[in-house]
Amino acid sequence: MLCPCPNPHNNNALIGSEMAPESLLAAVDLGSNSFRLEIGRIGSHQRIERVEYLKETVRQGNGLNSRQELSREAMERGWECLARFGERLRGFDASHVRAVATQTLREALNADEFVTRGSQLLGFPIEVIPGEEEARLIYRGVASSLPPSQQKRLVIDIGGRSTEIIIGQHSQPMQVASYALGSVSWSSRFFSDGALNKANFQAAVAAAKQCLAQAQFAYPGTAWDCAYASSGTANAVADALTAQGLGGQVITPAKLRHLYEMLLDIGHVDRLRMPGLKEDRRPVVAGGISVMMAVVDLLGITELEVAQGALRQGALHDLLDHEPPADKEAAEVGALQLDFGVDAPHAQRVQRIACELYRQILPGETAAQSTQALAIAAQLHEVGMRVALSNYHRHGAYIVEHCGLATWQPELRQRICQLVLGHQGKLRKLEDAIEEPQLALPLMALRIAVQLSHTRRDPDMQGIQIKRSGSECKLSTPSGWMLTYPQSARLLEEEAMAWSKTPWSLKLQLR
């Protein structure tokens, strides 16, 4: 089942980058556990912005009988869901919709009957895709939610009846594989009696390792730099860990062991009431966790970061049929500026001055993440003005913190939020964080840049210098500057007063 990444293929017409900004795209994912509909709008800078997301737990994977046929009940559940999705998609252009079915319909001998009727109800053709195409779409969806990186990424997706394993770099998968095991099939096979005991788990994990044996050699630890988990089982595990205060963003073998022991203590699916675990996941969580335990152990994974992208996002990006911008960060920042009406030339002015001041404060030193955060924060420091001018810095920090379209790493996002929040007003709102030079020094550079640019014209920077000695920064101006720019001088004096109430100080030598 292992193969090099296949060429992208889609029977539907693909849509070029000239598509109108307000056009809608839709992806329908007929999974073994749930059917999902995602509708996205092509926004500024060719981003796909979520408009609507519908999910129904159909459990079609449980409807396969001993003859590998979907039961009438399972088909009816699926058809009823597709009819509801079809009503929502009425009026969509056929080239704007892609509907894909995965492992259950790959296995079902009567899949044609379901697909024929389902396509009529949905209003669009349903495509039963190979496992390798499913893996390719999963990786593209995951990559769309991650920040730019040179790292080779391992992506694990444990679905209802199949598990996809992919290695890729940037937005392109390099190696893909699909294996016929998942949360639904493993729960039905090894936990059909409902008992959550060691014997059932041991049998499930051992069988999963046997099914995945090829992956141990195809995906050695030397072939990838970081690992991600996506979709249902990963999100269920993350939610349960988060609810117990264990940090669900990163899954480790120790955390999986903790959940496994909790399930043993509970003892039976009928008594399963785990904090954070959604009701629709309760019947299949044991199978999903057993497969994840096998994958993590077999591939020697020490950390699995939970990613938000999935197959349906990959299908949307396929419809859009464009490569991400070469500078993804700049595109995301530019899109936010456009969406919130930011004065881009002024933001670039503040960025240029702030970065130059920061280089003077830390001459010859490397502070890559602080510099990156400062540059982004300067570009977005006025993003909250579209909400309200009063306290716009607080609105801006909220927007930056919660904007799901920006794919910054959590630490970088937090630093950008702090800089946007702190770029004006009193500094005590940052509390103890201001003690860190990684925040205080770029923040000082940003605040000074904002004050010097108060006229929204390029300020005269000739002869202005700032030097640091320990916790003190000294800013000096050339002779005559104070008389020429009296308002700028007053703003700097107010800035020095603000810093005097922190562990840092800003001394002025204005002439």
For the segment 30-42, the average pLDDT, to the nearest whole number, is 91
Q: Radius of gyration (Cα) for the chain, nearest Å?
A: 27
pLDDT over 80 at 7, yes or no: no
Strand partners, 128: 101
Contact (Cβ atoms closer than 8 angstroms) between residue 218 and residue 210? no
Q: What are phi and psi of 11, to 5 degrees?
A: -70, -25
For the segment 335-350, the average pLDDT, to the nearest whole number, is 90
Q: Report residue 36 as tokens.
A: 């999902």
Helix residue ranges per DSSP H, 149-197: 183-190
- pLDDT on residue 45: 60
Scan for tokens 């001088």, then name that residue: 489
Per-residue pLDDT reduced to its tens digit, 232-257 = 899 999 999 999 999 999 999 999 99
For the segment 71-76, the average pLDDT, to the nearest whole number, is 94
Per-residue pLDDT reduced to its tens digit, 408-431 = 777 888 999 999 999 999 999 998
For the segment 51-66, the average pLDDT, to the nearest whole number, is 88
pLDDT over 50 at 9, yes or no: no
Per-residue pLDDT reduced to its tens digit, 210-234 = 999 999 999 999 999 999 999 889 9
Helix (H) or strand (E) holding 473: strand 472-476
- pLDDT on residue 232: 85
Per-residue pLDDT reduced to its tens digit, 165-201 = 999 998 889 999 999 999 999 999 999 999 999 999 9
Alpha-carbon distance of 491 to 454, in angstroms, equals 9
For the segment 82-108, the average pLDDT, to the nearest whole number, is 93
For the segment 43-51, the average pLDDT, to the nearest whole number, is 75
Scan for tokens 């590998």, then name that residue: 68
For the segment 31-44, the average pLDDT, to the nearest whole number, is 88
- 3-state SS, 201-262, equals HHHHHHHHHHHCHHHHHHCCHHHCCEEEEEHHHHHHHHHHHHHCCCCCCEECHHHHHHHHHH
- pLDDT on residue 438: 92
Per-residue pLDDT reduced to its tens digit, 433-461 = 999 999 999 999 999 999 999 999 999 99
The pTM (predicted TM-score) of the whole model is 0.67
* Poorest-pLDDT segment among 38-42, 79-83, 374-378, 471-475: 38-42
- pLDDT on residue 409: 77
* Poorest-pLDDT segment among 264-268, 326-330, 447-451: 326-330
Per-residue pLDDT reduced to its tens digit, 128-150 = 999 999 999 999 999 988 888 88
pLDDT interval class at 2 (50, 70, 90): very low
CA dihedral angle for residue 248, residue 253, residue 254, residue 258, rounded to 10 degrees: 70
Per-residue pLDDT reduced to its tens digit, 272-281 = 999 999 998 9
pLDDT over 80 at 101, yes or no: yes
Inter-CA distances, 42 with 25, 51, 321, 339, Å: 8, 10, 12, 13
Q: Which domains does the chain have, with CATH numbers?
A: 24-129 (3.30.420.40), 132-319 (3.30.420.150), 328-459 (1.10.3210.10)
Q: Report residue 170 as tokens.
A: 């940037």
pLDDT interval class at 481 (50, 70, 90): very high
pLDDT over 70 at 325, yes or no: no
pLDDT interval class at 12 (50, 70, 90): very low
The rounded mean pLDDT for the chain is: 89
Scan for tokens 């209802």, then name that residue: 160
Strand partners, 466: 475
Q: Please list, in sequence order, all residues whose beta carbon lies within 8 angstroms of the beta carbon of residue 173, skipping any fewer than 6 positions away.
A: 5, 135, 136, 139, 140, 166, 167
For the segment 34-63, the average pLDDT, to the nearest whole number, is 86
Q: Report residue 377 as tokens.
A: 């924060």
Relative orientation angle of helices 328-339 and 344-361, to the nearest 10 degrees? 130
pLDDT interval class at 6 (50, 70, 90): very low
| Helix, coil or strand: residue 76 | helix
pLDDT interval class at 3 (50, 70, 90): very low
pLDDT interval class at 356 (50, 70, 90): very high
Contact (Cβ atoms closer than 8 angstroms) between residue 70 and residue 114? yes
- pLDDT on residue 405: 59
- pLDDT on residue 60: 87
